[in-house]
Amino acid sequence: MTEKNLTERNLLEHNFPERNMTELNMPEHNMPEHNIPELDEIKQKLRQMLTPRRFEHSVNTMEVCIRLAEKYGADVKKAAIAGLVHDCAKNLDKDDILPMCEKYGIIVDEIARSQPKLLHGEIGAHMAQELLGIDDPQILAAIAEHTLGRPGMDKISSIVFIADYIEAGRNFEGIEEIRKAADESLEKAIVAGIDSTIVHVLKKGQPLHPRSILTRNWALEKLKEQENQG
């Protein structure tokens, strides 16, 4: 996928009909009440960047981001856009990932070099700015941080990180525990999500990325602080 193929003109010249909520298997939580006109234009562009399955996941994630933003008092518009765009680099060819990191000046550690898909969040933040015209720092940070997390990440980043786990299309062992945790606190959901990832990674015999561990430890500290204050 080249920059040339993703120009504004090429992305918008096709007329793709919107899929309905039933087809996406999501609860009825419609966008008009939030008055976010940018979403329609972003969707048109994302359809050219993602597979249908990945696009559906992105819309599902956006829906969860909206609900979590409402629940935890975050900016709904920023959460919605970040959730929709978070995987904009997910369908890049594996061979394109490291060259794009070099293009954008992204530092690649040893683990990420051996598992390039871990880098799609950081690449996605640059693509969102370059190809989708998104320049809000919180939105870009949430896109960059959604894969591995980051100690100290803000509410928007935390919401996208969690929504990526629990959107309606996800179905894996332990997901209900993460969804339940998300109803209790963002930090509990972050810990539950990373715990699930740790189990999955260990079963596959892959190395754990230290940033995930640091993010988990940070969330645990936040939970302890909340308990002490309570």
Name the pTM for this structure: 0.85
Domain ranges of the chain: 4-172
The region of weakest confidence among 18-22, 51-55, 81-85, 94-98 is 18-22
Write out pLDDT tens, residues 25-69.
334 444 444 678 899 999 999 999 999 999 999 999 999 999 999
Question: Which class does domain 4-172 fall in?
Answer: mainly alpha
Whether the CB-CB separation of 167 and 60 falls below 8 Å is answered with yes
Write out pLDDT tens, residues 149-158.
999 999 999 9
| Count of CB atoms situated within 10 Å of the CB of 25 | 10
Write out pLDDT tens, residues 161-209.
999 999 999 988 899 999 999 999 999 999 999 999 999 999 999 999 9
Q: Which pLDDT value is given to residue 144? A: 99
Q: Is the pLDDT of residue 3 over 50?
A: no
The candidate with the shortest Cα–Cα distance to 84, out of 159, 184, 155, is 159
| Count of CB atoms situated within 10 Å of the CB of 205 | 6
Residue 14 main-chain phi, psi, to 5 deg: -95, 145
Give the chain as a 3 state SS string: CCCHHHCHHHHHCCCCCCCCHHHHCCCCCCCHHHCCCHHHHHHHHHHHHCCHHHHHHHHHHHHHHHHHHHHHCCCHHHHHHHHHHCCCCCCCCHHHHHHHHHHHCCCCCHHHHHCHHHHHHHHHHHHHHHHHCCCCHHHHHHHHHCCCCCCCCCHHHHHHHHHHHHCCCCCCCCHHHHHHHHHHCHHHHHHHHHHHHHHHHHHCCCCCCHHHHHHHHHHHHHHHHHHHHC
Q: Which pLDDT value is given to residue 15? A: 26
Return the structure tokens found at 16.
Answer: 């793709």
The candidate with the shortest Cα–Cα distance to 211, out of 134, 108, 74, 61, is 108
